[in-house]
Amino acid sequence: MEVPFVDLSRESELLMTDLIKSTKQVLQSGIYINGPNVKEFERLTAEYFGVEYVISVGNGSDALTFILRTLDLEKGDEIILPANSFIATAWAVIAAGAKPVFCDVGNDMLMDVEDFEKKVGSKTIGVIPVHLTGRVFDVKNIIEICEKRNIQIIEDAAQSFGAFDDEKNKTGSLGLAGAFSLHPLKNLSLYGDGGLITTNNKKLAYKSYLYRNHGLEDRDHAKIWGYNSRLDELQAAFGIIKFAKIEEFTKKYIEIASFYNENLSSYFLKPIIRENFRDVYHNYVVRVPQYKRELIRNFLKSNGVGSAIHYPIPLHLQECSKDLGYRKGDIPNVENFAESMISLPIYPTMKKNELEYVVEIANKAIIEI
Ligand SMILES: Cc1ncc(COP(=O)(O)O)c(C=O)c1O
């Protein structure tokens, strides 16, 4: 049997009738940018996240960049972020003219609060907790220090659409603002790029509207220098269709993660499933002894099971980070994760027999190798 790491075409097949209907409607409308679908998608998602404003943009990287740019950062200002994120989290800090300061993570792959506190300095303006793999970083753990030091909390919620904390507050509503990616691999995904900014802050929302549209306040007046980074009508129309499925799909992600947790061998270090938080398992990541990792992945591959690593090179060790002055050994837990983790297939259209097969092959791999 072949179980790919991901197969996006299955989902589009499932929704094809609605997708084609919407495509036709948008094409016939003659409105392709900033029309009724964009407004409706923003309205629906704002209600869902329980925030005042959702500003759709071209992608998740721009969502983060625009939020950071509204902080009017100066050269040397620092933004703290975990070193085990996707490169775009750090890029947004650079793009906004500030300096990324990398911090370590705990066993749950989320920012380590103690290390965060150590990294806070006189130049710290903000922190970007990343809800990595769709697991909620409990922002309550850093609120006191952030309030005391006037540090802004900007959530990287790219991987956590639909996740919420133990008070049922959704990611994207836990700090000053949240950034979501709607990239095809995300839990709420489009058929192209897209992103969302979530916030209750009117000024931040206003500036984000400007940034996404050339800095234009109206057709002719540019208030600030801006970008061209808008979600188009077609993608917004797809977003509305996908949004109607988000609860059903989220349940699926959680069911698959639970199945893995119950049935994978205890030789795998597995994520802890929390009852009081809703983690949405954008990725399902296990850890194995470092020396076995490639052997296990090869065994999976030769038996038709796809796997991936999120992410093999920590942000502080990327070539583009070399001027920031980090060395191997500086962020030990993140480095450890990078060498020992494996992401297994998890997507809402996975079939039961595929899931059972992945478990069978993975268990064979860890025991026999
Ligand atoms: C944690 C994280 N942050 C930011 C991004 C950037 O989003 P996008 O690819 O939509 O620009 C991604 C997407 O891959 C991500 O996973």
Output the DSSP codes for 221-288. Answer: -B-S---B---BHHHHHHHHHHHTTHHHHHHHHHHHHHHHHHHS-TTSB-PPPPSSSB---SSEEEE-
What's the mean pLDDT in 122-135?
A: 98
What percent of the chain clears pLDDT 70, i.e. is strictly above it?
Answer: 100
Q: Is 59 in the pocket of ligand 1 (CB under 6 A)?
A: yes
Q: Nearest 5 degrees, angle CA 169-CA 45-CA 283?
A: 65
Q: What is the CA radius of gyration of the chain?
A: 21
pLDDT at 302: 98
pLDDT at 249: 98
Residue nearest to atom 14 of ligand 1 (CA): 86
pLDDT tens digits, residue range 160-210? 999 999 999 999 999 999 999 999 999 999 999 999 999 999 999 999 999
Q: Is 130 in the pocket of ligand 1 (CB under 6 A)?
A: yes
Model confidence at 333, pLDDT cuts 50, 70, 90, reads very high
What's the mean pLDDT in 112-133?
A: 98
Q: Is 311 in the pocket of ligand 1 (CB under 6 A)?
A: no
Start-end of H helices in the chain: 8-29, 36-49, 60-69, 87-95, 113-119, 140-149, 202-212, 233-243, 246-263, 293-302, 332-340, 352-368
| Cβ atoms 209, 69 nearer than 8 A | no
What spacing in Å lies between the alpha carbon of 112 and ligand 1's midpoint?
A: 21
Residue type, 31: I
pLDDT at 17: 98
pLDDT tens digits, residue range 251-280? 999 999 999 999 999 999 999 999 999 999
Atom of ligand 1 nearest to the CA of 185: 14
* Domain map (residue ranges) of the chain: 8-243, 246-368
What spacing in Å lies between the alpha carbon of 61 and ligand 1's midpoint?
A: 6
What's the mean pLDDT in 326-336?
A: 98
pLDDT at 15: 98
Please state which CATH number belongs to domain 8-243: 3.40.640.10
Average pLDDT, whole number, for the chain? Answer: 98
Q: Is 196 in the pocket of ligand 1 (CB under 6 A)?
A: no
* Nearest to 87, CA basis, from 111, 109, 70, 65: 65
Model confidence at 301, pLDDT cuts 50, 70, 90, reads very high
Q: Is 133 in the pocket of ligand 1 (CB under 6 A)?
A: no
Q: pTM of the full predicted structure?
A: 0.98
Helix H or strand E segment including 305: none
Q: Is 157 in the pocket of ligand 1 (CB under 6 A)?
A: no
Secondary structure class of 105 (helix, strand, coil):
strand
Model confidence at 66, pLDDT cuts 50, 70, 90, reads very high
| Cβ atoms 28, 223 nearer than 8 A | no
**CB burial of residue 206 (10 Å; 0-12, 13-18, 19+):** middle
- Give the C-alpha separation, 362 to 349, whole Å: 20
pLDDT tens digits, residue range 204-251? 999 999 999 999 999 999 999 999 999 999 999 999 999 999 999 999
What spacing in Å lies between the alpha carbon of 181 and ligand 1's midpoint?
A: 5
Please state which CATH number belongs to domain 246-368: 3.90.1150.10
Q: Is 213 in the pocket of ligand 1 (CB under 6 A)?
A: no
What's the mean pLDDT in 292-306?
A: 98
